[in-house]
Amino acid sequence: MYQNILLPTDGSAGTQKAIEQALDLAATYDATLHALYVIDTAAFAPEVDVGLIIDTLEENGKNALAEINDQAVEAGIVTETTIESGSPHREILRYIDDNDIDLVVMGTHGRKGLGRYLLGSVTEKVVRSSSVPCLTVRMTETDD
């Protein structure tokens, strides 16, 4: 049913629940797990010199992807890890189309109140625009 599962990650501790779901599905369907970290360059003002910031974010991405890869190897799951730069939801959608992804597994923050409406959700944008099914895994505020 699923041959290629995409797990976008922001590297936060709360993504562990999504990682566990993605690993379980990849093992069940003998699928390749694609782990993607997007450096959000869209968040920076054009006049800001982001060289050092980008280097730090790239290192964070490498660490997050290494953790996923380690868990996947332990479970006997084939993984592909990728770091991209740009607008996270756009890069995720592009990755889906370019890599024959069958399913996306993403965490969603359990924000409440006004913060839920004011903060743009990468997960929500991907779910609304994705050409493939998306499984969202709710993370509570204490998971962050």
**What are the tens digits of pLDDT across the range 8-42?**
999 888 789 999 999 999 999 999 999 999 998 87
Range of the domain at 47: 4-143
The Cα–Cα gap between 92 and 49 comes to 25
CB 33 within 8 A of CB 39: no
**pLDDT value at residue 108:** 83
**Tokens standing for residue 132:** 């493939």
**Tokens standing for residue 81:** 């890890």
* C-alpha distance from residue 136 to each of 10, 25, 51, 57, 104 (Å): 14, 13, 33, 24, 8
- DSSP 8-state class, residue 22: H
How many domains are contained in the chain? 1
Q: Give the helix/strand (H/E) hosting 10.
A: none
Distance of CA 22 to the CA centre of its chain: 11
The Cα–Cα gap between 104 and 141 comes to 22
**pLDDT value at residue 51:** 73
**pLDDT value at residue 137:** 92
Longest dimension (CA), the chain: 47
Residues of the chain with pLDDT under 50: 118-119
